[in-house]
């Protein structure tokens, strides 16, 4: 089957990952249209095509996957003309879906199957129908870890601009303030990544020791997955909804700055505690988020939407 994957922007590089996994691990043929690029320098197949090229690919496709919503315009019109409830899935994940859920529940997308954020209660409670798929990664393409505990512990925080706010990461910033008072630069190095391409972010993370994500949203995403893959103890608050879907998720789920500080100190002072807090991350990531395994969820969902889904 011919599958056309389309996105205005590629949230977390997930549409490029899906495109590659679909062609590598399934019998389907996939193409990717990326109408806009971001500073994150994601991989591309067909970038910002002219309307005639979009029309050609839309006619080629048997099935469509939209990465978030597409801005209705002359470029996206051939795609909107083709999609219907049994030939399309929309990935709804991230700040756009969280902020503007009505975009996914009205108009042409009203009865289209959504996926990608089932573990995120801030989205799945407002966008429906919502099926469960997970972020996927080709971990063999990640930079090799270069961690060395003979140097200062490298503490890393990397999130979207949204996460660099007091409302989303204030507890982490509070914990870091306390850590700076307790330890000097010979013990801890603080790395706060902002506005950096994904490839460069991974190279930095491959050299770090403890990872910090968000403390308020209640779910985990790329930043936590990257930290766990590098077997870093990873702080990220996950709520009961997310835990019910991923009960064996090996994250340190804390929300309070003092508690995050205390746990960080415990790991720095005790190599055994550090190891206990980090040992299961890579295995979990490869088993749940490795592209070869994660693509099975997508192919199963495509089969369901095409053959069984009823509005």
Predicted pLDDT of residue 11: 76
Q: What is the mean pLDDT of residues 225-235?
A: 96
Within 10 angstroms of residue 66's Cβ, the number of other Cβ atoms is 26
CB-facing half-sphere around the CA of 144: CA atoms within 13 A:
2
Encode pLDDT of 96-105 as tens digits. Answer: 898 899 999 9
Q: What is the rounded CA–CA span in Å between residue 270 and residue 308?
A: 53
Among the residue ranges 77-86, 166-175, 219-228, the one predicted with the least confidence is: 166-175
The mean pLDDT of 22-33, rounded to a whole number, is: 97
Do both 45 and 181 map to the same domain?
no
Which CATH number belongs to the domain containing residue 147 in this structure? 3.40.50.2000
Proportion of the chain above pLDDT 70, given as a percent = 94
165 and 129 both lie in a single domain: no
Q: Could you tell me which residue, 167 or 84, shows the higher pLDDT?
A: 84
Instruction: Tell how far CA 107 is from the center of its chain.
Output: 26
* Section 67-84 average pLDDT: 90
pLDDT digits (tens, 9 = 90+) for 9-24: 887 789 999 999 999 9
User: Cα separation of 104 and 68, whole Å?
Assistant: 8
Mean pLDDT of the 159-168 span: 61
Same-domain check for residues 126 and 197: no
**Cβ-defined contacts of 115-118 (< 8 Å, 24+):** 115/89, 115/90, 115/91, 115/301, 116/14, 116/91, 116/92, 117/92, 117/93, 118/245
- Judged against a pLDDT cut of 90, whether residue 41 lies above it is answered with no
Mean pLDDT of 161-172: 69
Same domain for 160 and 278, yes or no, is yes
- pLDDT-derived band of residue 282, with 50, 70 and 90 as boundaries? very high
Whether pLDDT at 71 is above 60: yes
Judgement on whether residues 151 and 92 belong to the same structural domain of the protein = no
Q: Can you read off the two tokens belonging to residue 264?
A: 């960080």
Q: 246 Cβ partners below 8 Å, 6+ apart?
A: 119, 220, 238, 288
Q: 40 pLDDT exceeds 60? A: no
**What is the number of domains present in the chain?**
2
154: enclosing H helix or E strand? strand 153-158
What value does the mean pLDDT of the chain take? Answer: 91
Asked whether residue 122 falls in the same domain as residue 197, the answer is no
Same domain for 254 and 235: yes
- Same domain for 146 and 183, yes or no, is yes
pLDDT value at 166 more than 70: no
Cα 163 to the center of its chain, rounded Å:
14
What pLDDT was estimated at residue 148?
Answer: 75
Residues 243 and 178 placed together within one structural domain of the fold? yes
Q: Which two three-digit tokens encode residue 254?
A: 């804390």
Check whether residue 18 and residue 127 sit in a common domain. yes
193 and 211 housed in the same domain:
yes
Q: What is the pLDDT of residues 186-221, one digit of tens each?
A: 999 999 998 788 888 999 999 999 999 989 889 999
pLDDT grade for 84, boundaries at 50, 70 and 90: very high
Q: Which domain holds residue 269?
A: 141-288
Q: What is the pLDDT at residue 160?
A: 56
Q: What is the dihedral of CA 123, 96, 301, 108, to 10 degrees?
A: 110
Length of the chain: 311
User: Is the pLDDT confidence value at 185 over 90?
Assistant: yes
185 and 271 belong to one structural domain:
yes
């Amino acid at each position: 089957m011919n599958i056309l994957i389309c996105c205005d922007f590629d949230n977390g590089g997930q549409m490029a990952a899906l495109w590659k996994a679909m062609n590598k691990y399934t019998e389907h043929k996939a193409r990717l249209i990326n109408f806009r690029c971001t500073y994150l320098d994601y991989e591309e197949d067909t970038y910002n095509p002219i309307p005639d090229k979009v029309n050609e690919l839309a006619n080629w496709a048997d099935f469509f996957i939209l990465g978030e919503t597409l801005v209705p315009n002359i470029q996206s019109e051939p795609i909107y003309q083709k999609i219907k409830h049994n030939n399309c899935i929309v990935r709804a994940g991230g700040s756009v879906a969280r902020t503007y859920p009505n975009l996914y529940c009205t108009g042409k997308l009203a009865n289209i199957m959504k996926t990608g954020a089932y573990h995120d209660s801030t989205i799945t409670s407002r966008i429906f129908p919502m099926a469960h798929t997970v972020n996927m990664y080709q971990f063999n393409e990640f930079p090799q870890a270069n961690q060395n505990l003979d140097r200062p512990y490298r503490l890393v925080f990397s999130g979207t601009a949204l996460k660099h706010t007091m409302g989303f990461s204030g507890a982490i910033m509070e914990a870091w303030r306390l850590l700076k008072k307790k330890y000097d630069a010979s013990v801890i190095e603080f790395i706060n990544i902002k506005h950096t391409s994904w490839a460069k972010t991974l190279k930095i993370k491959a050299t770090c020791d403890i990872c910090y994500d968000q403390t308020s949203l209640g779910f985990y995403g790329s930043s936590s997955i990257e930290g766990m893959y590098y077997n870093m103890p990873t702080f990220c608050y996950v709520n009961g909804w997310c835990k019910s879907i991923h009960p064996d998720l090996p994250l340190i789920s804390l929300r309070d700055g003092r508690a995050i500080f205390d746990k960080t100190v415990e790991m720095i002072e005790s190599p055994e505690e550090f190891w206990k807090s980090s040992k299961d991350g890579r295995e979990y990531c490869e088993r749940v988020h490795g592209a070869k395994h994660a693509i099975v969820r997508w192919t199963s969902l495509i089969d369901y939407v095409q053959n069984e889904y009823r509005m």
